[in-house]
């Protein structure tokens, strides 16, 4: 039996309001995660509808196939950048709505073997699919100091990136950096105490940068923004929930500049005060929605 998901879907009510799923329609959830958004969509497109749900994480896919077995859901192990190919394989020409929630799931954070939690003693991996690509510990081991600093600055927007990269290189010369806990401690020591007034852990931005790099997250988002309009029927909607400015900026610009879109949200939708109190993860979430012309 698959473990019960700990993940709470962000802005569920707002997402459903904007996507407005109806019986008989076909939707895609490109970021299945704990299955909360998929379940809500599946309950509203009955009878006659279907939800195609994708995730890169084999653990998420296995759990969802069990927990959503009684609903009209097709679960696929795939990156959301591959939605066009998945739909073609299933014989689906166009759909009425697509949802992307491109944050980290609580289930991934809770798995100490994946390295997403700063204090985990498991290997520093950070891959959504442990069978694809290069783990973060290899990236930390092989990158030159300057390249490591650039990566942390560009993908983590970390102003102390050069100090952090220097400390990482000094440490790896003494012993390999193998765990999330090791790396987090190195970063915390590199950030000046006077700057440590932020509400987030000093290691947050460095881990974000490494995670984005090993999973090619921005490449996946850029490709999806180019390809997904052609997967939607006229009037179909794309809703994207992002959690940091690098993603949100791309979504904003695509919805503004691509003539295939009609932007529906003038400003990003934010979680309610009550949701932020109940689920702190939702504080940084931004929802943008556009309609296929």
pLDDT in tens, 225-240: 999 999 999 999 999 9
Confidence of residue 241 (pLDDT cuts 50, 70, 90): very high
Would you put residue 48 in left (φ > 0), alpha (ψ -120 to 50) or beta? left
Contacts with 92 (C-beta within 8 Å, 6 or more apart), sequence order: 26, 52
Give yes or no for residue 1 having a pLDDT over 70.
Answer: no
> What's the whole-number average pLDDT of the chain?
94
Q: Cis omega (within 30 of 0) on the bond before 47?
A: yes
- Give CA–CA dist 166/145, Å, rounded: 6
pLDDT in tens, 117-143: 887 788 999 999 999 999 999 999 999
pLDDT in tens, 167-201: 999 999 999 999 999 999 999 999 997 755 557 89
- Which pLDDT belongs to residue 198? 56
> Residue 3 gets which letter from DSSP?
P
φ, ψ of residue 216 in degrees (nearest 5):
45, 50
Query: Which burial class, exposed, middle or buried, applies to 175 when counting CB atoms under 10 A from its CB (0-12, 13-18, 19+)?
Result: exposed
Give yes or no for residue 251 having a pLDDT over 90.
Answer: yes
Domains of the chain are 12-107+217-292 (3.40.50.150), 112-215 (1.10.150.170)
At residue 271, the 3 state secondary structure works out as: coil
Beta strands in the chain, from DSSP E residues, in sequence order: 26-29, 50-55, 73-77, 95-101, 232-242, 261-263, 286-292
Residue 85: how many other CB atoms lie within 10 Å = 12
Confidence of residue 286 (pLDDT cuts 50, 70, 90): very high
Scored b (16 or more CB within 10 A) or e, 218-243 reads eebbebbbeebbebbeeebbbbbbbb
Query: Which burial class, exposed, middle or buried, applies to 142 when counting CB atoms under 10 A from its CB (0-12, 13-18, 19+)?
Result: exposed
């Amino acid at each position: 039996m698959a473990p019960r998901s700990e993940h709470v879907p962000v802005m569920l009510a707002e997402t459903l309001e904007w996507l407005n799923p109806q019986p008989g329609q076909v939707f895609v959830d490109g970021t299945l995660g704990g299955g909360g958004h998929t379940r809500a969509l599946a309950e509203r497109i009955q009878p006659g509808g279907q939800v195609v749900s994708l995730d890169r994480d084999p653990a998420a896919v296995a759990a969802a196939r069990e927990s959503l077995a009684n609903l009209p859901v097709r679960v696929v192990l795939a990156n959301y950048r591959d939605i066009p190919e998945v739909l073609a394989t299933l014989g689906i020409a166009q759909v009425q709505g697509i949802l992307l929630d491109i944050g980290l799931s609580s289930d991934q954070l809770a798995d100490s073997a994946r390295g997403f939690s700063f204090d985990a003693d498991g290997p520093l991996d950070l891959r959504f699919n442990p069978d694809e690509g290069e783990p973060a510990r290899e990236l930390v081991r092989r990158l030159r100091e300057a390249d490591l600093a650039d990566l942390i600055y560009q993908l983590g927007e970390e102003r102390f990136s050069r100090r952090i990269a220097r400390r990482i290189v000094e440490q790896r010369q003494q012993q390999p950096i193998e765990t999330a806990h090791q790396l987090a401690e190195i970063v915390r020591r590199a950030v000046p105490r006077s700057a440590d007034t932020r509400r987030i852990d000093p290691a947050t931005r460095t881990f974000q940068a490494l995670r984005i790099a090993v999973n090619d997250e921005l490449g996946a988002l850029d490709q999806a923004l180019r390809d997904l309009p052609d997967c939607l029927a006229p009037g179909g909607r794309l809703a994207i929930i992002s959690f940091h400015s690098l993603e949100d900026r791309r979504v904003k610009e695509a919805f503004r500049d691509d003539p295939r879109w009609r932007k529906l949200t003038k400003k990003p939708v934010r979680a309610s005060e009550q949701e932020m109190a109940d689920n702190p993860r939702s504080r940084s979430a931004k929802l943008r929605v556009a309609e296929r012309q």
